Amino acid sequence: MNLVAALSVESSMLCVVGAGGKKSTLYALADHLDRAVVTATVRIPIFDEHVNSVLVTDSPRKALESVSEWSVGLVPEQERPDRYRGYDPETVASLKGCDADSILVKADGARTRLLKAPNEREPQLPANADIVVPIASARAVGKPLTEKFVHRPERVAELTDRRIGEEIRAPDVATVLASTRGGMKDIPGDATVIPAVNMVDDDGLETIGREIAEIVLAEADVPRVVLTQMTAQNPVVAAVK
């Protein structure tokens, strides 16, 4: 199964949340789709090298009318030399039905950590999102629950009943992905949730990923959990149902 099929992304608006692979998932999808838009409702690092072009515009839907070469990035402003600002969720929602196969949206931030739980302002999901992909890294398992590896570790601690500094276990990652205060927070009513466990880079991490997936499937109403290795030519390691 390829990544587009595993995440049911064709002709849809897909949003990624969580930690440990959001941007790499968006860029891999853009590379596998014919007419993809990459955008964000939060800050996003400069990503020009991952798309054919980036359009900086306050009128994103109109800007798409003149696109002839895909994939395309859409952002409202370059906020700093190393990052773009994102649109508000309503503006991204207005892109639905535009002249593109898929709208790919970064909908929260994690400061390159391996695991996160959202705060009260996150995620920033368009109301008409079709697919939401909560992401966590298999490499979080075995790491201490600290800011070095986890974004908002105190919130992960609340969800998992772990103490700051304790070792993260596979069930902890699963709990974060499956929780309505974690990966399932504020999901639009018509959206399908397909969690992903990323950085499944060897057999040992695949075993960890499958353990996480089985727990998520038991705790949340999702069709499958996708295990990924975004550095591979085919990023899908397994789709666990």
Instruction: Examine residue 200 and state whether it is found in any structural domain, yes or no.
Output: yes
List Cβ neighbours of 192 (8 Å cut-off, separation of 6 or more): 8, 130, 131, 132, 222, 223
Query: Is pLDDT at 131 greater than 90 in this prediction?
Result: yes
- CA-CA distances (angstroms) from residue 96 to 43, 76, 104, 126, 180? 21, 17, 11, 10, 25
CA-to-CA separations, 81 to 46, 84, 170, 214, in angstroms, rounded: 8, 8, 37, 42
* pLDDT tens figures, 145-196: 999 999 999 999 999 999 999 999 999 999 999 999 999 999 999 999 999 9
In which domain, by residue range, is 178 found?
8-235
pLDDT above 90 (res 11): no
Mean pLDDT for the chain?
97
Number of domains in the chain: 1
Q: What are φ and ψ of residue 33, in 5° steps?
A: -110, 150
pLDDT band at 6; cut points 50, 70, 90: very high
Whether residue 2 lies inside any domain: the answer is no
Q: What is the pLDDT of residues 17-76, one digit of tens each?
A: 999 999 999 999 999 999 999 999 999 999 999 999 999 999 999 999 999 999 999 999
Residue 10's pLDDT band, with cuts at 50, 70 and 90, is: confident
Residue 99's pLDDT band (cuts 50, 70, 90): confident
The CATH number covering residue 94 comes to 3.40.50
Torsion of CA 218, 220, 134, 85, to 10 degrees: -170
Residue 16 lies in a domain: yes
Distance of CA 172 to the CA centre of its chain: 19
Q: What distance in Å separates the CA atoms of residue 203 and residue 217, rounded to the nearest whole number?
A: 21
Inside any domain, residue 1: no
Residue 133, pLDDT > 90, answer: yes
Laid out side by side, the sheet with 83-85 consists of: 44-45, 83-85, 77-80
